[in-house]
Amino acid sequence: MESWTGARAVDDLREALSGAMTGAQSALDAADRLCRACVEILEVDGASISVAQGATTSGTFGSSGELSRRLDEYQFTFGEGPCLDAVRQGVPVLAPDLGDRSESRWPAFAEAVLSAGISAVFALPVGRVPAPFGALDLFRRRTGSLSGDELAGSLIAAELAALPLLDVMGATEQLVEHAEAMTGWDELASLERVEVYQATGMIMVALDVDTDEALVRLRGYAFAHGLTASEAAWLVLDWRVNLHDDSLWGPPGPGGGQT
């Protein structure tokens, strides 16, 4: 698919984005295809779809590639980011220049994303207000706002992103009536960060702290070592860090205390 240039009708944008999902073998495949189409059509460098519950993300449902998946993971790691704000507020959250001194909404997330070479992030809620259940994140290496056509396409993509998510949740009668409903739930459950909760339990026992404090410590360790929470969790599960060294797990870094 060629890059999008010039003014395009909304119908054309919808047709191109939805067409990219045609023939997908699963809901997850459809989400990945949509993210890759966003990169090609909207002239961004990455895209991801997050499932969010309250003040945290449950997992990355779709992405255009590994970098986008990692950038999305940072929002869970630090407990902050445009995705979470978009879900909480139910409106697009746009950050055309994360390096701008006046941009202070997500200090830990912004530092990590800028270090990865990304300068702008645009998050659009997935699911209808007042209760979005996810967000579409678009990442761009260069600074600058989305054009009118790009923003229109982004809103369409966020609307389309709800479809595979609703499918795996078994939220449509058609899916519930078929055996794929169980498969859909399995796909959604696979997004849960099981390793994070297992590692949190190990830290609780080793440091004699409660669940919230253990998660704060894990996030702080991840931040201090340039890791995502999941990467830090695997180090714990593989016994590659000394769980009984309290100084190693504190004080927590930015984003601590938010779950």
Mark whether 222 and 128 lie in a shared domain.
Answer: no
In a domain, 5, yes or no: no
Count the domains in the chain. Answer: 2
Burial of 62 (0-12, 13-18, 19+ CB in 10 A): buried
In a domain, 109, yes or no: yes
Burial of 231 (0-12, 13-18, 19+ CB in 10 A): middle
Whole domain around residue 233: which residue ranges?
194-249
Burial of 74 (0-12, 13-18, 19+ CB in 10 A): buried
Among 25, 76, 23, CA closest to 48 = 76
In a domain, 43, yes or no: yes
Mark whether 116 and 222 lie in a shared domain.
Answer: no
User: pLDDT tens, position by position, for the chain (259 residues)?
Assistant: 444 444 457 888 889 999 999 999 988 899 999 999 999 999 999 999 988 866 677 778 899 999 999 999 899 888 899 999 999 999 999 999 999 999 999 999 999 999 999 999 999 999 887 788 899 999 999 999 999 889 999 999 999 999 887 776 554 344 334 434 344 444 444 455 677 778 888 888 888 888 888 888 888 888 888 888 888 888 888 888 888 776 666 554 444 433 2
Mark whether 139 and 244 lie in a shared domain.
Answer: no
Distance CA 220, CA 240 (A): 17
Per the DSSP assignment, residues forming a β-bridge with 126 are 134
Mark whether 87 and 59 lie in a shared domain.
Answer: yes
Beta strands (DSSP E) in the chain are 46-53, 56-63, 93-95, 120-126, 134-140
Q: Is residue 49 a contact partner of residue 62, using CB atoms and an 8 Å limit?
A: yes
User: Last residue of a domain, which of 135, 153, 180?
Assistant: 180
Mark whether 128 and 154 lie in a shared domain.
Answer: yes
State the CATH number of the domain containing residue 100: 3.30.450.40
Mark whether 170 and 229 lie in a shared domain.
Answer: no
